[in-house]
């Protein structure tokens, strides 16, 4: 068997056998198949897609390229929630303690942000002393105490994905839907859970720019999950405006804590309550999503979800008093207020532009390895559908280095698109696929 024959077969849009896929991936992981041949194969996939059988075999081999983790020691219904990435997406910080307070557990691998999208690791690491679990033993210990088990990505888990992604990044094959689906699902399948809930972001600030793209990705991931015998649900959520009001790491932690105190933005609430409701439904505690709202409201009103977040922060090396004292978070030296230059109704907020405005002041990474300024960020005070007056404050930028501050300000101003006609407030959850 030769790699060139497999590449030719995929180039000609013929289905590969499981043996051929295994030969290719094992050969690439071991170094016997060079980058240039794998790059040719990835480009053939980009143009010709993958069949259902090809994609399942490809993903399972990626999963099995490293360690897999099962949590027999955690006696809870386990939920693994994954977001495809967006601007202001602090859902995991909020959802994890809510799931725990509802008697479930949230165990998952979490990532760092890149480009205009944020990462859960960066948000929690804005807390002084906070350290993510690096071993299964650490994760199980904290999860048994708090119901929350978050671990950073390890070189021992799905190492083939890391190697393939680096190659995709330099060969213009990152946007391939089957390759995105296999990358995400190989990591989800490597960690055991009772249900996987995927939050696929759709819109200007997401990788999937339109609903059609997002549905195709969702369908491929559902296909993989079901083929692997796992329970999986998908939420398609709106990213045509930032989620909530805070963008940046420290200030997103504050917004998450405020949510657990009952002060929540409508769009964040819709996404969080939907995901928590899907978990409760799969567990068998409710039959309709609307039944979940009262249960979730209860754990927020009685303070149990907030207490669990405080305990998780404390068990992870941070100061649990943070939930009542935001001065324990890093503070930016400077604040710039931004005022609207026109009046009208907000038609849309160019979300990617807001994300990049935060990135260039240090809140995000332009490339892997860049340092994050955890105190930098942006708060927006108006959302799509709301009316604003000329010279009304629409945002604040928090920064320590004024190198890119004027460019950031211009990007924020340009992001707000106004209209004279009143428009409806958009839904945060666009569709649920079960």
Of 176, 183, 316, 375, the catalytic one is: 183
Q: Catalytic site residue 245?
A: no
Round to whole Å and give the CA distance between 56 and 225.
Answer: 9
Which residue in 82, 90, 108, 356 is the catalytic one? 82
Residue 394: how many other CB atoms lie within 10 Å: 22
Secondary structure, 3-state, 323-386: HHCHHHCCCCCEEEEEECCCCEEEEEECHHHHHHHHHHHHHCCCCCCCCCCCCCEEEECCCCCC
State yes or no: is 410 an active-site residue.
no
- 335: exposed, middle or buried (C-beta count within 10 Å: 0-12, 13-18, 19+)? exposed
161 is catalytic: yes
Catalytic pick from 108, 163, 187, 374? Answer: 187
Q: Which of 161, 199, 240, 373 is catalytic?
A: 161
In angstroms, the Cα distances linking 71 to 156, 164, 190, 224 are 17, 28, 12, 22
Pair of tokens at residue 237 = 């959520």
If DSSP codes are grouped into helix, strand and coil, which group holds residue 198?
A: strand
Choosing from 168, 201, 348, 350, which is the catalytic residue?
Answer: 168
SS3 of residue 134 by DSSP = coil
Residues with a known catalytic role = 82, 161, 168, 183, 187
């Amino acid at each position: 068997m030769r790699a060139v024959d497999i590449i030719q077969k995929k180039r000609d849009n013929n289905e590969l056998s499981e043996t051929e896929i295994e030969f290719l991936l094992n050969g690439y992981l071991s170094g016997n198949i060079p980058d240039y041949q794998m790059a040719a194969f990835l480009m053939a996939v980009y143009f010709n897609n993958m069949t259902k059988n090809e994609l399942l075999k490809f993903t399972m081999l990626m999963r099995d390229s490293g360690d897999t983790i099962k949590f027999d020691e955690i006696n809870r219904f386990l939920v693994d929630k994954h977001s495809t990435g967006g601007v202001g997406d602090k859902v995991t910080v909020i959802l994890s303690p809510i799931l725990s307070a509802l008697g479930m557990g949230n165990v998952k691998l979490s990532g760092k942000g890149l480009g205009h999208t944020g990462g859960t690791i960066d948000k929690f690491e804005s807390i002084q002393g906070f350290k993510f679990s690096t071993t299964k033993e650490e994760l199980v210990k904290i999860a048994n105490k708090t119901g929350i088990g978050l671990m950073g990505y390890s070189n021992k888990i799905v190492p083939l994905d890391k190697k393939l992604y680096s190659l995709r990044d330099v060969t213009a094959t990152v946007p391939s839907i089957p390759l995105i689906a296999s990358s995400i699902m190989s990591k989800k399948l490597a960690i055991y859970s009772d249900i996987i809930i995927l939050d696929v972001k759709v819109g200007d600030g997401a990788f999937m720019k339109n609903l059609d793209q997002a549905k195709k990705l969702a369908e491929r991931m559902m296909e993989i999950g079901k083929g692997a015998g796992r329970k999986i649900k998908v939420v398609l959520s709106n990213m045509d405006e930032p989620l909530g009001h805070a963008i940046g790491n420290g200030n997103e932690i504050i917004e998450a804590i405020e949510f657990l105190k009952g002060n929540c933005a409508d769009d964040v609430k819709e996404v969080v309550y939907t995901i928590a409701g899907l978990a409760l439904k799969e567990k068998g505690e409710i039959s309709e999503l609307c039944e979940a709202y009262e249960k979730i409201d209860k754990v927020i009103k009685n303070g149990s979800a907030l207490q669990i977040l405080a305990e998780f922060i404390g068990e992870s090396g941070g100061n649990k008093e943070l939930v009542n004292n935001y001065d324990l978070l890093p503070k930016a030296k400077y604040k710039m207020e931004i005022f609207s230059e026109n009046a009208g109704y907000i038609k849309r907020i160019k979300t990617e532009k807001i994300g990049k405005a935060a990135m260039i002041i240090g809140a995000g990474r332009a490339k892997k390895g860049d340092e994050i300024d955890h105190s930098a960020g942006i708060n927006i005070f108006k959302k799509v559908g709301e009316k604003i007056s000329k010279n009304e404050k629409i945002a604040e930028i928090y920064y320590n280095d004024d190198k890119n501050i004027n460019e950031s300000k211009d990007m924020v101003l340009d992001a707000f698109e106004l209209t004279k006609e009143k428009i409806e407030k958009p839904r945060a959850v666009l569709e649920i696929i079960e």
